[in-house]
Amino acid sequence: MHIPVLRDSVLENLLPPDSTVERVIDGTLGAGGHTLAMLERGAREVLGLDLDEMALSIARANLAPYGDRAHLAHASYADMRAQAALIGWHKVDAILLDLGVSSMQLDTPERGFAFRTDGPLDMRFDASDTDGSRPTAADLVNTLDERELADLFFRYGEERDSRRLARAVVRERPFVSTSELATAIEKASPRRYEQKIHPATRVFQALRIAVNDELGVIESTLPQAIDLLRPGGRLAVISFHSLEDRIVKDVFRLASTDCICPPKIPVCACGHHASVRLVTRKPLIADESEIAQNPRSRSAKLRVVEKL
């Protein structure tokens, strides 16, 4: 099992040495790396949530030595309150969210997250979702009109050539596999020889975010997570791109501010009170040694707040 991203920073800030941590929620369990580290650090119990059944299977094996100290559930972190209540937890000491797609998902071609290996255009975090309630990436690229695709590529991928690439997708579709779509995007990209990243990177990011409603889920989850913390409890969030980090930063700034009235109002009328304090004024990032060991950590940013 690879070392989880920003492991040492997470442990130092989420489970500081002088704290007593009884109950922790790991909202994005993955293979269980962060949960394992927190149990080793002294957390009494951890509730790990993940929509990926393959990840849960691996995590169960990795965490088996800890027995009933590790509670694992097939669920989204958006459902953390309900999942915590199922095991009798109504307040917790710490919560960790490691956002985005995992290395394990990227390295599994049949999940359809990566453009460098061929697989079906799926991209759903929950591969067991077979009732059609959530569209696949193939559904989006093959049914949305050109304007909708361009808006999706620009909004969720921050792709400057969104209109040109959307036009190419509509012209070349239908697409079945990741390699088909990646090839079409590469051919249509006017900057394919000057970019440091593959031309399809932002398009694949945009499709993945849209398929899983990632930003909407983050926005609805963060206030719930803050509310679940006991006084003195901490919430740590690892983000991997600017769209995620912007949401986390804005939610944390609002939650750590007393009055949110417009500056022109001389007396506070909003009645808003801070519910957290910022533990990290600026995001923590990986050092050179971690980046060398795990290149994915290059874009990781960790923000932490403490419940008042």
Any idea what DSSP says for residue 95?
A: E
- What is the pLDDT, as a whole number, of residue 180? 96
- What is the pLDDT, as a whole number, of residue 103? 73
For residues 122-134, average pLDDT: 79
* % the chain with pLDDT above 70: 97
Better-scored residue on pLDDT, 115 or 1: 115
Class of domain 7-104+214-307: alpha beta
Distance (Å, rounded) from C-alpha 199 to C-alpha 181?
A: 11
For residues 115-142, average pLDDT: 86
Task: Summarize pLDDT for 249-282 with one digit per residue, the tens.
Answer: 999 999 999 988 988 888 888 888 999 999 999 9
Domains of the chain, residue spans: 7-104+214-307, 135-212
Q: Evaluate if pTM is beyond 0.75.
A: yes
Q: What is the CATH number of domain 135-212?
A: 1.10.150.170
**193: pLDDT strictly greater than 80:** no
Buried b (16+ CB within 10 A) or exposed e, 98-134: bbbbbebbbebbebbbbbebebebbbbbbbeeeeeee
Task: Summarize pLDDT for 279-289 with one digit per residue, the tens.
Answer: 999 999 999 99
**43: pLDDT strictly greater than 80:** yes
CA dihedral sign of residues 117, 122, 124, 130: negative
Supply 170's token pair. Answer: 């509509």
Nearest to 247 by CA among 278, 284, 216, 279: 216
Q: How far from 127 is each of 55, 58, 72, 105, 205, CA to CA, in Å? A: 11, 15, 17, 11, 18
For residues 2-16, average pLDDT: 92
Supply 305's token pair. Answer: 């707040």
Any idea what DSSP says for residue 42?
A: T
**192: pLDDT strictly greater than 70:** no
